[in-house]
Structure 1
Amino acid sequence: MNQEKLRKYRPYPQVPLQDRRWPDQMITRAPIWCSVDLRDGNQALIQPMNVEEKLEMFQLLVQIGFKEIEVGFPSASQIEYDFLRLLIEGNHIPTGVVPQVLTQAREHLIKRSFASIQGAREAIMHLYNSTSILQRDVVFKKDKKEIIELGVTGAKLIREQAERAETIIRYEYSPESFTGTELDFSLEICEAVMDVWEPSPEKPMIINLPATVEMSTPNIYADQIEWFCRHVKNRDCVLISVHAHNDRGEAVAATELALMAGADRVEGTLFGNGERTGNVDIVTLALNMFSQGVDPELDFSRINKVINVYERCTKMKVHPRHPYAGELVYTAFSGSHQDAINKGMTALELTQSGLWEVPYLPIDPQDVGRTYESIIRINSQSGKGGIAYIMEHEFGFKLPNDMRPGFGRVIQEVSDACSDELSPEMIFQTFEKEYLFNVNGYALKSFNVIKRHFDRDEEQSIAEIEAVVVTKGGEQSIRASGNGPLDAFCTALRDGLGLRFVLHSYHEHALTRGSSAKAVSYIEILDQDNEGWWGAGVDTDIIVASIKSLLSALNRSAAKAKGQH
């Protein structure tokens, strides 16, 4: 950056709070949530929502569990006025859900706002006026006394209207641009408004302290909130609310620290949609709490539905790396990450402790309505652990550890060739081609165990088999005995076909359950050069599956001599 241009900026001043307490606090319960998607979020859209879209969004917010929803700025827009009338006259506001209406401290806007809520059981009237040094000097050209008078006059008008209204009115005041306002002046104007509204512990007012522009690190915002909570009079008569914007990309952190500092309430939007760089993201904030064992009292268990409605109504897209809702957020491409996740999922199944402890996954994707299908996805950066995960969780094949590197190299070649992500189906098709359907050398036409018995003197099982093996030269009958069908078949291949190999490793497991269940066998052989080759075979008969697996390994070994591997 140009060093000369740095002179245009100066650091944000710290708060003189020597004995701050918030760093030792923990978030142990959910705040009061207020969605401002229909106001702050809507005014930030290139194409604002129409009435139908606003209604769908409102219904989604209710389903999620919001009890306070800022429905708009009805005095400033006819469509927002009409929307509020639709909610009230159409009986769309459930009992326990309170609409919030924003208004400036101007008489005709306040009266219009009260007209918009007529017939509602209860409503929050949200008054604001800007208090920052910059706004006072540049925009309004008013001194502190005049700014206080503006807020007090608006508060008086609202109280007068509230006392005439049939609707139960709750009061909220925001010193807009709180982060650009001197703390003592913020306190002075808020207490002046309190004197007008006369809140009580039974009927508290809301004091909203917005980071209208995020100007500092989150710890300083927390200091400001703690300072205000300590100094405001009649603290039990006010609910301290925070409304963080994301100009520095720290709105979630700032809000979390503000809650630790004493805030009672949070205003924000789904996925952080708001003016400029956005508002605090309530989805992230709530699921952060959830990941710490704190009930956020908002239901994001069907996150895909939330995404669908949000994207349809706002015409915005949820980022694929959004912390909890992004398409790729539960997905690992890196080989080391995949291996750790695979081992973590396996350990979770074995321990059954009830605690979610899986590397790289802070929450269980199923808790937000996601499946495990996309936890691990394969591209050129992936490793053997991720491929093994896909094979087991998508198709039921539990590849032996020693088999994974070889199959990983096969997948790597395919991924490099196509320069793209491989779907689970492509991975399985590659496995079938490489192991199950590889008949370039030898194939089994028939197999029969002629005789099998246990020799007490030798203390071993004796089996005699006969088989017909298809080779490049045609069909060949082979016959031999051994200490089991597989051993006998190996002997028959060596004696009848002159093959040279050693059976090195053997694994098997069931693929499906029931009377027609299939089993899979994995066999590793060492060829005449002492090089290992794995094969796989599937059949309803485990003995036949092992014979197919052996031939699979021999076929892969034979391909080496032809330069195919």
Structure 2
Amino acid sequence: MRRIEVFDTTLRDGEQSAGVNLHRHEKLEIAYQLEAYGVDVMEAGFPASSRGDLESVKEIAGHIKDSVVAGLARSTVADIDAAWEALRGAAAPRLHLFIGTSPIHMEYKFRMTPEQVLESTVAAVRYAKQFFSDIEWSAEDATRSDREFLARVIEAVIREGATVINLPDTVGYTTPSEYADLFRYVQMTVPSIEKVKLSAHCHDDLGMAVINTLSAIGAGVHQFEGTINGIGERAGNVAIEEVALALATRKDVFAAETGLQLAQTVRTSRLVSKLTGMPVPPNKAVVGANAFAHESGIHQDGVLKNKETYEILKPEMIGLSSNSLPIGKHSGRHALRVKCEDLGIKLDEAEFLRLFKAVKELTDKKKLVTDDDIMALAYDTVGLAEQPHYELQSLHVSYSAGSISTTTLELVKPDGEVVREAATGSGSVEAIYHTIERVVGTPLELLDYRIQSTTSGRDSLAEVYVKVAIDGKTGRGRGVDNDVLAASAKAYIDAVNRISMVTQRAVEPVTEA
């Protein structure tokens, strides 16, 4: 059985999803879970893009011990230096260098001739080799590149010390047979190809990311790259969990497997969905809410007689199982610590005490606190002291059918000043958002508003997700509360905080892979 390595780029390519901007503590929380999931490599970010991203990569590199930590860099000295600053403390650092090799990218994006691209690439790998022993080189838009030229560049970077060669389908253009044939061509044409690992990286613009990745694995690649839940630019990347479960389920066809802890699949998926604010479609393969639901009478009858009639995956395989340690009104700190460990939630002492207080307050309103409640509260309370931010102190909403709604609230501003404001709206949520807009002093545009419950029942927590635009910048926010209106206010404030904390990127958006 061939072992395929998993390169996760949720924290880099995944965060490039429109409107997603993660706090540093959220990135670290995802990194811990990716480590528990068993990914071989996690791409923590693009250090040269901003000081904030560099510091996030550095923090992750300093904490992760069981996975290789990678950072993206263009083929420039400045980018390589920034990556080394961020990754030098990692237990196993990897530099991920890239440059476009397709005619359209070389001519219009880089304004370079093929020979200039080759020269720049060789110089970059040679310079980077002074710092990094592990260098992955990517040919951006490889699937639309001239194969002879691509083979020349690959041979040159291997000669300079590259250890992994990635041929991404950057725009999701290729077909399964074409992609497999590209890897076979490289293996037959490049003399030194046996010295490196080959990697596949697929986007889902035409809905073929999973089958393209599996075709590349069939053609002999050693590593595939993707994201949790398939998030990423445009239509997203290949979903890691889908490829991993396909390999695990059809070993008879692929004769390959990953080292992932598959029982961590659902937990990892839910964490990424919760922190990015990107919901998992109910009918999504493997981790969708309907993946193990059977409504048809014929299907139900078959499953009751033998699950294998309609289930090719066992729910337990991906971590769908009940837990026997409920948290209630009389539970103490120790029980909550154990529960946090079981859920993979990592908190410092101050964060844990805030969570414990929030859980205790919730137990006054509902009998038992579920795992989903704890996760929602945990990711709503951690990192609050990370940097100055707006914070909701009090909220009063007046509403009656057929009349204008009025909101009065108190917000603590980033400088510590407490401001009280009031405004009206055609509905309660609109009134709340008009009031927050007055405090912030900048026009806000609500682009999306979603609400869901953490569990079933009248006492369930409400989770509200919003997407907001301020001065041309967009950001997502999340709010959790047992009251829908309070959750709505918290979500809007969270979006404002995230946008205000995003450092203006010093470089153009990265679209590689």
TM over 0.5: yes
Alignment match, 1:104 = 74
Q: Does 2:181 align with 1:223?
A: yes
Equivalent residue of 1:103, what SS? Answer: strand
Q: Spell out, residue by residue over 1:423-449, the C-alpha distance to the aligned partner (whole angstroms, 9 max, x if none).
A: xx9xxxxxxxxxxxxxxxxxxxxxxxx
Q: Percent identity?
A: 29
User: Relative contact order, CA 8 A, sep 6+: which one is greater?
Assistant: 2
Alignment match, 1:185 = 149
Larger radius of gyration, structure 1 or 2? 1
**Range with greater deviation from structure 2 (116-125 or 309-318):** 116-125
**Partners of 1:330 and 1:100 in 2: CA distance:** 35
**Partners of 1:125 and 1:315 in 2: CA distance:** 29
Q: Of residues 33, 36, 40 in structure 1, which corresponds to 2:13?
A: 40
Equivalent residue of 1:194, what SS? Answer: helix
Structure 1 residue 144, shift from structure 2 partner:
1.1
Q: Spell out, residue by residue over 1:85-114, the C-alpha distance to the aligned partner (whole angstroms, 9 max, x if none).
A: 2234xx4121x4211111001121211221
After TM superposition, the score normalised by the length of structure 2 is: 0.60
Matches within 5 A, 1:437-452: none
CA contact (8 A) 1:287 1:296 kept: no
Structure 1 residue 221, shift from structure 2 partner:
0.8
Alignment match, 1:115 = 85
**Partners of 1:279 and 1:61 in 2: CA distance:** 16
Runs in 1 of length 4+ with deviation above 3 angstroms?
none
Q: Does 2:36 align with 1:63?
A: yes
Q: Spell out, residue by residue over 1:198-256, the C-alpha distance to the aligned partner (whole angstroms, 9 max, x if none).
A: x6xxxxx1001100012122111111111112212123201001111111101110011
Q: Spell out, residue by residue over 1:134-164, the C-alpha distance to the aligned partner (whole angstroms, 9 max, x if none).
A: 112222232211111121121122123x2xx
Alignment match, 1:153 = 123
* Structure 1: tracts of 5 or more residues without a match: 1-27, 163-167, 200-204, 346-357, 373-424, 426-565
**Partners of 1:273 and 1:47 in 2: CA distance:** 10
Alignment match, 2:312 = 362
Structure 1 residue 371, shift from structure 2 partner:
5.4
* Structure 2: tracts of 5 or more residues without a match: 323-456, 458-513
**Partners of 1:111 and 1:342 in 2: CA distance:** 60
CA contact (8 A) 1:72 1:100 kept: yes
Q: Does 2:190 align with 1:240?
A: no
**Partners of 1:177 and 1:321 in 2: CA distance:** 30
Matches within 5 A, 1:43-54: 43-54=16-27
Q: Of residues 232, 244, 268 in structure 2, which corresponds to 1:274?
A: 232
Number of equivalent positions: 320
Alignment match, 2:64 = 93
Letter in 2 for 1:92: H
**Partners of 1:84 and 1:223 in 2: CA distance:** 35
**Partners of 2:144 and 2:268 in 1: CA distance:** 34
**Partners of 2:73 and 2:284 in 1: CA distance:** 32
Structure 1 residue 295, shift from structure 2 partner:
4.4
Structure 1 residue 366, shift from structure 2 partner:
2.3
Letter in 2 for 1:182: D
Q: Does 2:287 align with 1:325?
A: yes
RMSD: 2.0
**Partners of 1:122 and 1:304 in 2: CA distance:** 27
Alignment match, 1:25 = none
Alignment match, 1:309 = 271
Equivalent residue of 2:153, what SS? Answer: helix
CA contact (8 A) 1:229 1:240 kept: no
Q: Does 2:140 align with 1:169?
A: no
Q: Spell out, residue by residue over 1:61-85, the C-alpha distance to the aligned partner (whole angstroms, 9 max, x if none).
A: 0000012111110111222111122
**Partners of 2:264 and 2:13 in 1: CA distance:** 24
Q: Of residues 255, 259, 262 in structure 2, which corresponds to 1:297?
A: 259
